[in-house]
Amino acid sequence: MLFEKAVIVPPFKKANPMPNEACFLYVLDGKYDSISEKEQLKLHTHESVLMKCGSYLSEMYTTGDSQKYEAIAVHFYPDILQKVYDHEIPAFLKPQNSASNMSMGKINSDILIHKYIESILFYFDNQQLVNEEILILKLKEIILLLNQTKNAPNIRNVLSNLFNPTTYTFREIVEAHVYSNISTSELAHLTNRSLSSFKREFEKIYNSSPAAYIKDKKLERAARYLKSSELRTSNIAYDCGFSDAAHFSKSFKKKYGVSPSIYRVNQIDKSMGQL
């Protein structure tokens, strides 16, 4: 499948492994969160992203009065591109040595991309007009357009490494998502391990269970925020990866002996006493 139209009733969350393909995704309606081994990216309606091969988590939401999430995806496979460019693959698609490890490139509102999506929607509505030659032309067209977008340098970096997955260590992936609101099983997916294998490796490296270590790191970060910022407690909870403010307060009190609000007052009092 090269071209895909998805209509989903959110919220919807799934693992999205792409070991041997890359993908261009355009959001027609709704919001899309993409999490890779070390990056997180949020898309809104009429925004798009180019993702090279790797492991991802995808989450879809609605916006405004709409009750659905809708998107167009173009899938890239190395063997298909080799056939499409039967003479020579363009230079910007060839692997390059780059200091950047970007796995995703966000494409902000771009009129050329909008017009391209309109043409793709036309063919979805008139599938009897589609043939192999048109598919090849539309595949080449989006690749050329991506190479000309406003943030072309980042996109070119992703294009030139579409099928070269970046290798990260287990620790790098874990530390990149300590404060993300993702489950242990989802974190295991990003490391390309089963849940049981992930837990064994985690305990070997950190001498702790994933749940205990990650919660402790989140609470330590929250304590730093309470000391140094005037953010509301609920905002600190969400910024530190807690999905529920009440659960955050209960966990914080268990670790520090007092509620977050009392902890903040105590820190202020200590600071005043040192003046």
- 104, 51 contact by CB (below 8 A): yes
Backbone angles phi, psi at 154, to 5 degrees: -65, -40
pLDDT in tens, 193-247: 999 999 999 999 999 999 999 999 999 999 999 988 888 999 999 999 888 889 9
Nearest in space to 28 (alpha carbons), one of 62, 51, 56, 3? 62
Query: 13-62, pLDDT tens digit by residue?
Result: 898 889 888 999 999 999 999 999 989 999 999 999 999 888 999 999 99
- Rounded to whole angstroms, the Cα distance separating 32 from 9 reads 13
Judged by DSSP in three states, 227 sits in helix
